[in-house]
Amino acid sequence: MECFESLDDAKKKIFVDLSSKNPQYQVIPFTSSTRPSDNKLWERMGQVVVKAIGQWVCFDVPVELDGKARTKRMYAIAYMKPTWFTIYVYNSRDDTSSMNAHTCSRVVVAASFGNLHAWATKKGVPTNHAKASMTNSLVNMCAYDIRPFAVVEGPGFHDVIQTALDIGFASKTPFLVDDLLQSQQTIKRRTMDRSEKGIVKLQGIAHNHFQNNGHASFSTDIWTDDATQTAYSADTMHLIDVNFIMHARVVSCDEFSEGTSHTTAAIHHDFLNSVFPFITWKEENVMVQAADWQVVVKSDVAGNNRGVEGMSSQFELDLCYCHRISIVINYVLRKQTRQVDGVKQAPVYLFYDESPFMYDMIDASKELVTYMKQTKLNKQPKNKMKQDVATRFDGLLIMLQSVSAELDESTELLKKKKQENRAEKILEELLDELIRLLHYFKLANKSLEPFNTPTFHFVGMWLAKLKAHLQPRDEPVTVNGANGKKMTIPANSENIAPIKVRLLKQLEEKFFLKPLHIAAAYLDPL
């Protein structure tokens, strides 16, 4: 009898197989003697069987039965139409042949099992009336519950709606939604229960991984709530087990244990408190800890992460490459503070003399956004101007793009107030050229930052791409655009060419490859 490790594996494999030209499975309609109950719904159902041996496809599911961890055998069934089918699952209620003839103990599907969702080879099409009815209900929800409109696009919301549709499809009689939904206390309790069980399971995975001499990567982040002045810290863990399955999870998110002190030693101590349950375990009543070389900490380049008493004193510290890109841009295009004879000087652009028009334009853009916000003029343009936020990877680019999008309309608004001189230093051609220069760094960040996808093998590729991008260009270049059409990129102006040289020098100093990057690219080429 064929079995699968999880529901998702089963549904996906069956869905793909039955849609192929030479499927290894087939659907055999239920007969009056084989269908689970007398409900006429089963007349359109069929068993998914292995074609070669005629056995019903099944898989075991982890469940909690009367407070004990067990497994439940589930069977694959198909709801059949003339030109399409939908895959569902069915449990035989402790192996009895009729669902109506047996009352069993309450079975709760384990949190790791996931939701029971249908996979269809052809989607049904809702009527316009159904769409209008759902839209009206969503409008009411946003208005009554004061929820953002974006909630309807969230995967969690879609999951709830799909679950409700599946329950309604499987139900014999209609019922009120109030009888189905649980209270907020129940949802909170179940959430905490699932979280605790998930943490315990993840700790077991980490312990086994370290016992097999594996490595794991941790990252930490600290921020402060401006309203309450409360500091928080969050830690994540990434590891790839022996089956090449990546586990990417948030392992801790709580108040910063060291209060308001963000010293090197305080951050190190808080990090150890958070990850300690994952890197330590008991062997014959003796506590064992993963070797320091097995724990890699991904972080930014802040000095309080690299001090004598910091995390780098115990673990390998690997600086985040998205932060490296940000450092390259900030060093060249943001004002820096220097000390002369022990006296802190006012922030200045380090390379102002090499491109004064460009730096003046950046300052003018920041001042324009500030003025537009303070005078409420920013409410009038369709696309609002956005101020540069230094903590964003692409904060400068976001600001410049917003200024470029509304420059003409904003200039007209400024003329009405006789303030058009505020936009005089914003040169449109230079602004567009600087945006093109920075946009490529944004593409690199987007490629390297995904949380659930390995990107180690991309580092070398983006280093080469960024180096090529920063080469000064004396003549126009014709390239293929995003839409497949040819587009011409003009030669660098005298304002951008020296900035490219400075960015390239910083990139070569801050963005370098390690042997692991080369090995990863070799093992997983593009």
d(Cα 179, Cα 139) in Å, to the nearest integer? Answer: 23
d(Cα 448, Cα 511) in Å, to the nearest integer? Answer: 13
Choice among 86-100, 203-217, 230-244 with the minimum mean pLDDT: 86-100
Above 90 in pLDDT, residue 365?
A: yes
Above 90 in pLDDT, residue 354?
A: yes
User: What is the reported pTM?
Assistant: 0.60
pLDDT in tens, 115-136: 333 433 345 678 888 888 889 8
What 3-state class would DSSP assign to 82?
Answer: coil
pLDDT in tens, 11-66: 777 777 887 778 888 888 888 777 776 666 677 778 888 887 778 777 776 666 56
> Using alpha carbons only, what angle is made at residue 184 by residues 118 and 135, rounded to the nearest 5 degrees?
50
d(Cα 23, Cα 233) in Å, to the nearest integer? Answer: 50
- Per-residue pLDDT band for 410 (boundaries 50, 70, 90) equals confident
What 3-state class would DSSP assign to 422?
Answer: helix
Q: How many CB atoms lie within 10 A of CB 144?
A: 8
What 3-state class would DSSP assign to 323?
Answer: helix
Report the half-sphere exposure of 124 (CA within 13 A, side-chain side).
13
Percent of the chain exceeding pLDDT 70 equals 82
Q: Can you tell me the mean pLDDT for 207-212?
A: 91
Above 70 in pLDDT, residue 77?
A: yes
Residue 432, CA distances (Å) to 78, 427, 435, 493 in order: 56, 9, 5, 11
Supply φ then ψ for residue 385, to 5 degrees. -75, 145
Q: Are strands 68-80 and 85-91 parallel, antiparallel or unpaired?
A: antiparallel
Spatial contact of 489 and 518, defined as CB atoms under 8 Å apart: no
Q: Which residues contact 69 (CB under 8 A, 6 or more apart)?
A: 62, 63, 110
**Residue 104 has what pLDDT?**
33
Q: Name the residue with higher pLDDT: 236 or 305.
A: 236
Percent of the chain exceeding pLDDT 90 equals 16
pLDDT in tens, 431-451: 999 999 999 999 998 888 887
pLDDT in tens, 313-330: 777 777 788 888 888 999
